[in-house]
Amino acid sequence: MVEKSPVLWLCATCGVEYAPSMEPPAECPICEDERQYVPATGQRWTTLDELRDTGHFVEVFPVADRLWGIRADGVGIDQQGMLVQTEAGNLLFDVPGLIDAAAIERVRELGGIRHIVASHPHMYGAQSAWSEAFENATIWVAEADKRWLGYRPDAVRTWSEPFEVLPGIRLDQIGGHFPGSTLAHWSAGADGRGMLFAGDAIFPTPDGNVTFLRSYPNRIPLSAAVIRRMADFVSRFDFDVLYNNFGSSAGPDAATIVQFSAKRYIDWVSGANDDLT
């Protein structure tokens, strides 16, 4: 008789990992929260092996100079991680809920991973598996959001104050969607004009602008005061292009777009445009 070993469990809805155990957790706190949801069919769990065995795989593809997208379609909420290449090592910003041998091989060809950062808890994905595959790459978790960690391997480090995770890549916490919602500003990105990775904190829209929400699936807004705070916060960065956690972008002149979009949002939620309704 083959003895079972503890399994790394993944929520089938959000794709976030939970600590290895013989049986899955009773619930996914991230999906129970108002920013996410438990499907009408109920909570379901999966594993990396099950995902791979059912045909899911990871794609690694070019996005821009020294920038690569990493995506596992049909896994969790279909987020897209970003691999930023630097001479001092690579950063994986936002984490897919799957890893496979082909992706490991390709990322190794691109220089591996030195640091892993999720913009917010919905993006934790299978971060422990990605870390383990790359010599226990450091996993940086915002102190303000650490309670959402379903698994805390030794590679996890928490942080509160802004810092350069790699030369030219600065991490800071903008809040809004989550208290610890994290931005990564890459000063050398976009041919030196600056690039901002914003996760769900600042989200590109079809009209070329951006928006800001507490919950995207449930369409819960943020207040005018919070949007003003976020817009003022991001004005400290120089960036021409902004990416969210699904590969969508705003720009060129993304910094101006964010300020315009913030004013538009504030005008609507504050009642300034009520005469138009």
Q: Which two tokens stand for residue 70?
A: 């990493």
- Predicted local distance difference test score (pLDDT) of residue 70: 98
- Residue 212 has phi, psi (to 5 degrees) of -145, 130
- Predicted local distance difference test score (pLDDT) of residue 122: 98
Is 130:99 a contact under the CB 8 Å cutoff?
yes
4-8, 130-134, 146-150: which has the minimum mean pLDDT?
Answer: 4-8
Who has greater pLDDT, 5 or 257? 257
Q: How many CB atoms lie within 10 A of CB 126?
A: 27
Give whole-number Cα distances, 35 to 41, 67, 119, in Å: 18, 29, 15
Nearest to 215 by CA among 247, 178, 262: 178
- Predicted local distance difference test score (pLDDT) of residue 51: 98
* Mean pLDDT, residues 167-192: 98
- Predicted local distance difference test score (pLDDT) of residue 3: 64
Strands 182-186 and 195-199: antiparallel
* Mean pLDDT, residues 162-184: 98
Name the percent of the chain lying above pLDDT 70.
Answer: 99
Sheet with strand 182-186: strands edge to edge: 163-166, 169-173, 182-186, 195-199, 241-244, 249-250
Name the percent of the chain lying above pLDDT 90.
Answer: 98
Distant-in-sequence, close-in-space partners of 124: CB < 8 Å, separation ≥ 6: 16, 17, 95, 118, 148, 149, 150
Residue 221 has pLDDT above 80, yes or no: yes
Residue 2 has pLDDT above 80, yes or no: no
Who has greater pLDDT, 4 or 258? 258
Residue 4 has pLDDT above 90, yes or no: no
- From the centroid of its chain, how far is CA 26? 25
| Average pLDDT value over all residues in the chain | 97
* Mean pLDDT, residues 246-253: 98
- Domain 52-269, CATH number (from 3.40.50.720, 2.40.110.10, 3.30.1160.10, 3.60.15.10): 3.60.15.10
- Predicted local distance difference test score (pLDDT) of residue 199: 97
DSSP 68: E
**What does the buried/exposed string (b/e) look like for 105-121 if buried means 16 or more CB atoms within 10 Å of the residue's CB?**
ebbeeeebbbbbbbbbb
pLDDT tens digits along 28-48: 999 999 999 999 999 999 999
Angle at 19 between CA 244 and CA 81, to 5 degrees: 20
pLDDT tens digits along 77-133: 999 999 999 999 999 999 999 999 999 999 999 999 999 999 999 999 999 999 999
DSSP 256: H
The model's confidence at residue 212, banded by pLDDT at 50, 70 and 90, is very high
CATH 3.60.15.10 region(s) of the chain? 52-269
> What is the chain's alpha carbon radius of gyration, rounded to the nearest angstrom?
19
CA dihedral in degrees (184, 189, 190, 195; nearest 10)? Answer: 10
Angle between helices 254-269 and 224-234 (to 10 degrees): 170
The model's confidence at residue 1, banded by pLDDT at 50, 70 and 90, is low
* Mean pLDDT, residues 49-68: 98
Q: Which two tokens stand for residue 57?
A: 């795989």
